[in-house]
Structure 1
Amino acid sequence: MLKSEEGKLIILSGPSAVGKGTVITALMDEYQDISYSVSVTTRQPRVDEEDGVDYFFVSETEFKEMIDNDEFIEWAKVHENYYGTPKKCVEDTLASGQDVILEIDIQGAAQVKKSYQQGVFIFLAPPSLEELEARIQKRGTDSQKAIEVRMENATEEMERAENYDYIVVNDEVEEAVEKVKSVIIAERCKVD
């Protein structure tokens, strides 16, 4: 099948605990020609997270040096921590013809849209804000104050979902994965 020489940049955003990581893991299990872009963050790793696999964990000083050196496609301060997408790795992977998927917040997606208008922007939404709060509580990794901040951010994020090319509701993970796969397949078939 004909494939464009450059890979597609796929951006997946959505509120905290909506299931972005779960959807991406399922996609990565099925597609070998999608590369996951590992983000850089200043937040502390969770118990099950591994440096260089889930995130590159750095100090705030290191992160700010990377900003000064223009090493990010996008970066933002979210939930009191910095997050960013390393530029060189993404651009090299796209140039090799492989698709790259970014799991980033709405601030970062807005930055990416300015530089990569050809990107595919997908917003993963919860079935309801009540369900989202239950998922955050179930995760058991956040204080009550952190949950309140995440819920405030989720409300704002939901209002800005209209800035995306596609919205997929993650009610049932398998259905959400199928819808995201359909978007990717359609975008790969699109005539430029």
Structure 2
Amino acid sequence: MSFKGKMLVFTAPSGAGKTTIVRHLLSEYEALDFSISATTRARRDYERHGRDYYFMSPEEFRYRAENDEFLEWEEVYEDQFYGTLKSEVDRLWSMGKHIVFDIDVRGATNIKRLYGDDCLAVFVKPPSVEVLIKRLRDRKTESDASFAKRVKRVKREMQYEHDFDKILVNDLLEVTLKEAEYLVEGFLNIKNE
């Protein structure tokens, strides 16, 4: 019988720190590996296909969605799709790994619904919306129009925090990382290697 691991889903509005938390957990636990999402958004200079995302055209994404190749997917903004390929889950489980997701709120709720108790869904919350907006502004990665869309989305996503198994408030990063470690160890019944 093939390995069927568990899933840890981290979600948050942009800028709340979920990617930092996920990277930390991946560096601490050999039993975990990262689910690489597919997207149609433009690749940033520092990103690599197959490491950060599977970058594809909107046409390819739609084709794969129509052929039921995604576990979950969403059109986040017009012609900007994100999703989890079923083949990605198969790839990671074939390696004997538990899967860590860094995805949006809707994708997280869909995966939790599909996998139930085999999935721990964690909402990473900033100390306040104002702090989150400042973090986004300080990134300086977006145009004014893109920034405005993201802030609107952030405010909407914050309303879903109580739909998740756990809420991590990311105020002091060191404390948040330790709390995330406790969640992982408790859910998977493992210790930091």
Q: TM-score, normalised by structure 1?
A: 0.91
2:36–2:88 CA contact under 8 A, matched in 1: no
**Paired residue type of 2:19:** G
2:35–2:92 CA contact under 8 A, matched in 1: no
Please show how residues 78-117 of structure 1 align to structure 2 within 5 Å: 78-80=76-78, 81-94=80-93, 97-117=96-116
Residue deviations 1:72-118 (CA, integer Å, cap 9, x gap): 11101113310011112213423654210011111111221221112
Do residues 181 (structure 1) and 168 (structure 2) align? no
Within the candidate set 27, 52, 70, 2:50 is matched to 52
**Paired residue type of 2:130:** E
After superposing the two structures, state which structure 1 stretch, 53-62 or 141-150, moved more: 141-150
Gaps of 5+ in 1: none
Q: Secondary structure at the match of 2:43?
A: coil
Gaps of 5+ in 2: none
- The list of structure 1 runs, each at least 4 consecutive aligned residues, that deviate by more than 2 angstroms after superposition, is 91-97
Percent pairwise identity: 34
2: CA distance between counterparts of 1:57 and 1:21? 18
Do residues 129 (structure 1) and 129 (structure 2) align? yes
1: CA distance between counterparts of 2:121 and 2:17? 16
Q: TM-score, normalised by structure 2?
A: 0.90
- When the two structures are aligned, how many residues end up with a matched partner? 186
**Paired residue type of 1:126:** P
1:13–1:122 CA contact under 8 A, matched in 2: yes
2:112–2:120 CA contact under 8 A, matched in 1: no
Q: Secondary structure at the match of 1:116?
A: helix
Give the aligned partner of residue 168 of structure 1. 168
Give the aligned partner of residue 71 of structure 2. 73
1: CA distance between counterparts of 2:138 and 2:41? 20
Aligned CA-pair RMSD: 1.6
